[in-house]
Amino acid sequence: DGGITQSPKYLFRKEGQNVTLSCEQNLNHDAMYWYRQDPGQGLRLIYYSQIVNDFQKGDIAEGYSVSREKKESFPLTVTSAQKNPTAFYLCASRQGWPRRFNQPQHFGDGTRLSIL
């Protein structure tokens, strides 16, 4: 079945450590997204990518980095510069140009990151 796979489901980070969250999709979607969700809050956009080898900052990109070397993969690195990384991280994808305007996003099941 087509879908989005995020791994791991739970992740623990030590102080000063970088960690990478995986996101893979087999939907042949052009656009991919990373969101952060804090308890009781809505989703905030970290980064998004409309095409391979290109990505744009969202509203809260500081302390995060991404790459888009392959269409199906969009990993997110939470760097040590992100001082409050504990959150629920969600990856999404969406059909790109020229059909994107009315195409929905598809979400993974998320990764919960905690600080040790």
Partner 1 sequence: DAKTTQPNSMESNEEEPVHLPCNHSTISGTDYIHWYRQLPSQGPEYVIHGLTSNVNNRMASLAIAEDRKSSTLILHRATLRDAAVYYCIPIMNRDDKIIFGKGTRLHILP
Per rule CB under 8 A, is residue 27 in the interface with partner 1?
A: no
Would you count residue 2 as binding partner 1 (CB under 8 A)?
no
**Near partner 1 in 5-24, by CB under 8 A:** none
Shortest distance in whole angstroms from residue 85 CB to partner 1? 19
46: left (phi over 0), alpha (psi -120 to 50) or beta: alpha
Rule CB under 8 A: say whether 96 interacts with partner 1: yes
Q: Which residue number, 72 or 80, has a Cβ lying nearer to partner 1?
A: 72
Residues 29-88 that bind partner 1 (CB under 8 A): 31, 33, 35, 41-45, 48, 50, 56, 58-59
Tell me how far apart the alpha carbons of residues 58 and 68 are, in angstroms, rounded to a whole number: 15
User: Within 10 A of 48 (CB to CB), how many other CB atoms are there?
Assistant: 21
Q: How far apart are CA 30 and CA 52, in angstroms?
A: 8
- Could you give the CA distance from residue 102 to residue 112 in angstroms, rounded to a whole number? 30
What whole-number distance in Å separates Cα of residue 16 and Cα of residue 89?
19
Binding of partner 1 at residue 101 (CB under 8 A)? Answer: yes
Residues that bind partner 1 (CB under 8 A): 31, 33, 35, 41-45, 48, 50, 56, 58-59, 90, 92, 94, 96, 100-102, 104-110
